[in-house]
Amino acid sequence: MSARNRSSRIDRWLLQKIYRAAGRPAIRLKLQNGAEVSPTDALPVASLVIPDRKTLFRLLLDPEAEFGDAYSKGRITLDGDLVSALEIFYRSMPQGEQVSWYVKLASKFVEYVQRNSLHGSRRNIHQHYDLNTDFFRLWLDPQLVYTCAYFPSPDATLEQAQLAKLDYVCRKVQLQPGERVVEAGCGWGALALHMAKNYGVTVRAFNISREQILVARRRAKELGLSHQVEFIEDDYRNISGECDAFISLGMLEHVGREHYRDLGSIMHRSLAKTGRGLLHFIGRNHPRPFSTWTRKRIFQGAYAPALSEAMQVLEPWDLSVLDVENLRPHYAKTLEHWLARFEKSSRQISEMFGPDFVRAWRLYLAGAVAAFHVGTLQLFQLVFARTARRQIPWTRAHLYTKDQNEEQETKWMHATS
Amino acid sequence: MSARNRSSRIDRWLLQKIYRAAGRPAIRLKLQNGAEVSPTDALPVASLVIPDRKTLFRLLLDPEAEFGDAYSKGRITLDGDLVSALEIFYRSMPQGEQVSWYVKLASKFVEYVQRNSLHGSRRNIHQHYDLNTDFFRLWLDPQLVYTCAYFPSPDATLEQAQLAKLDYVCRKVQLQPGERVVEAGCGWGALALHMAKNYGVTVRAFNISREQILVARRRAKELGLSHQVEFIEDDYRNISGECDAFISLGMLEHVGREHYRDLGSIMHRSLAKTGRGLLHFIGRNHPRPFSTWTRKRIFQGAYAPALSEAMQVLEPWDLSVLDVENLRPHYAKTLEHWLARFEKSSRQISEMFGPDFVRAWRLYLAGAVAAFHVGTLQLFQLVFARTARRQIPWTRAHLYTKDQNEEQETKWMHATS
């Protein structure tokens, strides 16, 4: 047997091993030099082209991390639709427990390095959210809402759906004029401003992303709402004073498992005797960390909890869960909108941050679309209240009544005009 | 100091100690011989009359167990409204952690004796549910639904509210004609028959209460639904075969913490690839057992889980939580109806089981009203689905649309006529 033949047999053997480890997906795996594996029972939906044996070895060791990095650097390429291919991978890949010792070790290491201390959180948040507001403007809605939208119907626009989400949240916690709201992790301020403007509440909104806080303050000024909304550049652990409602959208993912009790104690300390609140977060069906690639390149220190884990925020403080809604299909749709807009602006983004960045973020957004489609990620909206709260709505019908929607329609008109 | 004076000082000291341990409620504690403690900052809402020092000592050792037994035997009497007094006690009593070593030990002992093995479950269920159907007929609705009702509005009748609950459950799991449903713990069969009759599904309904199963079978025959609904006298652990929906109302409380994984594995084994289901159960804000009195005299082997604990049923099997609703106010109202009907029939019930039984069940029902009012108990309706299920409703609006309600109204008419 020639050296060349032996070499190609090793390549084929490695490819087969990767293919089996991935759960035999309906994807063709191709090595640039020619070796390939194809599904035997179905036509391949896409082809993955891998440059060399070094990459093959790395894929065997930590498939998610290596795939992410090699794809971002343009070394691995995909022939076919990225979202569809990722969905196939997510469906075929063995779940959780079967990951190798190497992946577990790497995962623990990343967790330690990215721990969410006061300082660590600032570093983790800065890395993603302070990128540059102009970048996010290219693919988010004009209000810059960077969390799952709520589509009253699937054909609503992203703008409508984000506005509907903001209002849905307000109605879920039944805000009343004059009440005091704390928002933990306020992004560019859209919810805080919506609450103040449409529900007559006062808001103290916290965020450790400087870039976002500066933009939010500017918008409050423009809207004449600076007297009602205070944007505070500080960590949730430093929240003080009393509030009637405690609301947090898309922050729990950045709190980290080891700090759930801290967050709960802050909520407990802040909430008035009849207080209530809402947590909106990416979650899981069962405990499982994000891939090391996601945590290294996209969301440092992030963790999406299973409900059993999220309960650690509430249970020590005798807070009652009133309502949990899984908005998974809404996040898949939101992300489809984001991904489409991102692609439209990809040239501009490449000029800002380079082509590797574009590919990494394309992979992140497409991967999230796929994960919410397939169900490896969930989106939970959880309403809670102190037991002493008596004004619990008798049913949830008020969230869906016709009048409400018409009124809502009017509000949208007003806000988008 | 005379012996008499010394004796009354000891009594007063014991009363004070009990009063403080109860968190200084707005209730007067009186010993029959005259010693008493009253709240200093409020008028007492009721007076509790305790017969002797022996009872005082026992109240100190295990307050809930002794209060329950002494009240049932007519030794402790209450001057005032029972529900209001219990609400005051529940609000003032220190929560969970501070119970004495004695109570903890007694609690563990009861848990061991009443463990929910296949045999133990039969014994536990028999003790409560096989009492005698005529007894339950005296104070439940005509369909004999012995779980929390759903009141579309607070002034709905109990009959309407139970029917609304049955239908609400069907709509939450979106039953389709021809589908196969498993019901675990079916009581006297109301939900199984409702599903078969109104949604055209086939149902296999399991129960280990012989008395209930016999009644349910008779009703199926009367309604001509025996070909669609099979009532099976067996344990949930023996459920086999495939189903499209797995539904269980008021059974999780009898499963016991140590068997949540078993229940989950049965659900996982039974559910089709796109299956879904609903669990309806009494829960808690945080882990805490029922009082030893409740477990000795009313619900042997019962445990109401916190959500973190209930998740142990679902999380090992990658089942997605789609919706959790806390119906606490509905259970308070349901229990108010039951208690009022129970009181109306108390003479008859006393003739059936004696006055101690009447007092024990009065305390159980009144205590439950108070607990759901105050918030020491919750009622969770949880909808879950396999991730492969694609027909997830886009919003929850369909549960509350006008048309639906009108259609519903017609259905009620039909069923109650």
- Looking at the fold, whether A64 and A171 belong to one and the same domain comes out as no
Is residue B113 included in any domain, yes or no? no
pLDDT in tens, A80-99: 999 999 999 999 987 655 67
Nearest to B323 among A150, A324, A397 (CB): A324
| CATH number of the domain to which B55 belongs | 3.30.1050
Question: What's at B266, amino acid-wise?
Answer: I
B397 CB-near residues (< 8 Å, 6+ apart): A152, A400
Do B349 and B342 form a contact (C-beta atoms < 8 A)? yes
Q: What percent of chain A has pLDDT over 70?
A: 94
Question: What's at B123, amino acid-wise?
Answer: R
pLDDT of residue B402: 58
Nearest to B323 among A152, A326, A374 (CB): A326
- Looking at the fold, whether A391 and A249 belong to one and the same domain comes out as yes
Residue A138 has pLDDT above 50, yes or no: yes
- Looking at the fold, whether A136 and A87 belong to one and the same domain comes out as no
Residue A304 tokens, joined: 């999406």
Chains A and B form CB pairs within 8 A to the count of 115
Average pLDDT over residues A40-69: 92
List CB contacts (< 8 A) between B380 and chain A.
321
Do B51 and B75 form a contact (C-beta atoms < 8 A)? yes
Q: How far apart are the C-alpha atoms of B190 and B186, rounded to whole Å?
A: 8
CA B347 to chain centre: 24
Q: What percent of chain B has pLDDT over 70?
A: 94
- Looking at the fold, whether A19 and A134 belong to one and the same domain comes out as no
Domain that holds residue A84: 3-94
Strand-pair category, B202-207 with A46-50: unpaired
Q: CB–CB of A285 and B316 under 8 A?
A: no
Q: How far apart are the C-alpha atoms of A381 and A371, rounded to whole Å?
A: 18
CA B417 to chain centre: 29
How many CA atoms lie less than 13 Å away from B255 in the CB half-sphere? 29
Q: CB–CB of B308 and A306 under 8 A?
A: no
How many residues are listed for chain B in this entry? 417
List CB contacts (< 8 A) between A329 and chain B.
392, 394
With residue A78 as reference, give the H or E element that holds it. Answer: strand A77-79
Kindly provide the b/e burial profile for residues B158-183, where b requires at least 16 CB atoms within 10 angstroms of the residue's own CB. bbbbbbbbbbbbbbbbbbeeebbbbb
- Looking at the fold, whether A143 and A9 belong to one and the same domain comes out as no
Q: Starting at the edge strand that comes first in sequence, how are the strands of the sheet with B46-50 ordered?
A: B36-37, B27-31, B46-50, B77-79
Q: How far apart are the C-alpha atoms of A268 and A387, rounded to whole Å?
A: 12
User: Last residue of a domain, which of B94, B128, B151?
Assistant: B94
Is residue B99 included in any domain, yes or no? no
Is residue B210 included in any domain, yes or no? yes
Q: How far apart are the C-alpha atoms of B55 and B76, rounded to whole Å?
A: 9
Is residue B130 included in any domain, yes or no? yes
Give the residue from B87, B373, B395 with the most A CB atoms within 10 Å of its CB, the best one to mutate.
B395
**Residues facing B185 on adjacent strands:** none
ipTM greater than 0.95: no
Nearest to A308 among B95, B308, B375 (CB): B308
- Mean pLDDT of all residues belonging to chain B: 92
Is residue A109 included in any domain, yes or no? no
Question: What's at B233, amino acid-wise?
Answer: E
pLDDT-derived band at B5 (thresholds 50, 70, 90) equals confident
- Looking at the fold, whether A124 and A222 belong to one and the same domain comes out as yes
List CB contacts (< 8 A) between B325 and chain A.
322-323, 396
pLDDT of residue A402: 58
| Cα of B129 to nearest chain A Cα, Å | 29
pLDDT-derived band at B97 (thresholds 50, 70, 90) equals low
Residue B168 tokens, joined: 């609400």
Q: CB–CB of A395 and B394 under 8 A?
A: no
- Looking at the fold, whether B276 and B390 belong to one and the same domain comes out as yes
pLDDT of residue B415: 35
Best CA proximity match to B329, nearest among B271, B372, B280? B372
pLDDT-derived band at A126 (thresholds 50, 70, 90) equals confident
pLDDT of residue A414: 37
List CB contacts (< 8 A) between B172 and chain A.
none
Q: Is B383 helix (H, G, I), strand (E, B) or coil?
A: strand
- Looking at the fold, whether B90 and B136 belong to one and the same domain comes out as no
Q: How far apart are the C-alpha atoms of B220 and B396, rounded to whole Å?
A: 32
Average pLDDT over residues A229-246: 97
pLDDT of residue B1: 56
Average pLDDT over residues B330-337: 98
Average pLDDT over residues A340-368: 97
Q: How far apart are the C-alpha atoms of B184 and B232, rounded to whole Å?
A: 10
List CB contacts (< 8 A) between B378 and chain A.
320-321
Is residue B102 included in any domain, yes or no? no
Q: Which residues of A touch B (CB under 8 A)?
A: 95, 150-154, 285-287, 306-308, 311-312, 314-316, 318-326, 328-329, 374-376, 378, 380, 387-388, 392, 394-397, 399-402
B403 CB-near residues (< 8 Å, 6+ apart): none
Strand-pair category, B378-386 with B319-326: antiparallel
Average pLDDT over residues A129-154: 94
Report pTM: 0.94
Q: CB–CB of A315 and B328 under 8 A?
A: no
Nearest to B396 among A151, A387, A400 (CB): A400
pLDDT in tens, A58-67: 999 888 899 9
Residue B350: count other Cβ atoms within 10 Å of its Cβ: 14
Residue B299: count other Cβ atoms within 10 Å of its Cβ: 21
Is residue B109 included in any domain, yes or no? no
Could you tell me the CA-to-CA distances from A245 to A201, A250, A379, B276 in Å, in that order?
A: 10, 16, 21, 33
- Looking at the fold, whether A25 and A122 belong to one and the same domain comes out as no
Q: How far apart are the first and last CA of chain A?
A: 74
Is residue B107 included in any domain, yes or no? no
- Looking at the fold, whether A200 and A297 belong to one and the same domain comes out as yes
pLDDT-derived band at A1 (thresholds 50, 70, 90) equals low
Which one is predicted more confidently, A404 or A154? A154
pLDDT-derived band at B42 (thresholds 50, 70, 90) equals confident
Total tally of structural domains belonging to chain B? 2
Average pLDDT over residues B293-307: 94
Query: Can you spell out the DSSP letters for A342-376?
Result: HHHTHHHHHHHH-HHHHHHHHHHHHHHHHHHHHTS
Give just the sign of the alpha carbon dihedral A342, A343, A349, A354. Answer: positive
- Looking at the fold, whether B16 and B62 belong to one and the same domain comes out as yes
pLDDT of residue B416: 34
Q: CB–CB of B315 and A401 under 8 A?
A: no
Residue of chain B with shortest Cα separation from A331 = B394
Q: How far apart are the C-alpha atoms of B103 and B362, rounded to whole Å?
A: 23
pLDDT of residue A343: 98
| CATH number of the domain to which A400 belongs | 3.40.50.150
- Mean pLDDT of all residues belonging to chain A: 91
Residue B405 has pLDDT above 50, yes or no: no
User: Last residue of a domain, which of A59, A94, A129?
Assistant: A94
How many CA atoms lie less than 13 Å away from A212 in the CB half-sphere? 29
pLDDT of residue A410: 39
Nearest to B286 among A315, A329, A402 (CB): A315
Question: What's at B398, amino acid-wise?
Answer: H
- Looking at the fold, whether B323 and B366 belong to one and the same domain comes out as yes
Residue of chain A with shortest Cα separation from B91 = A388
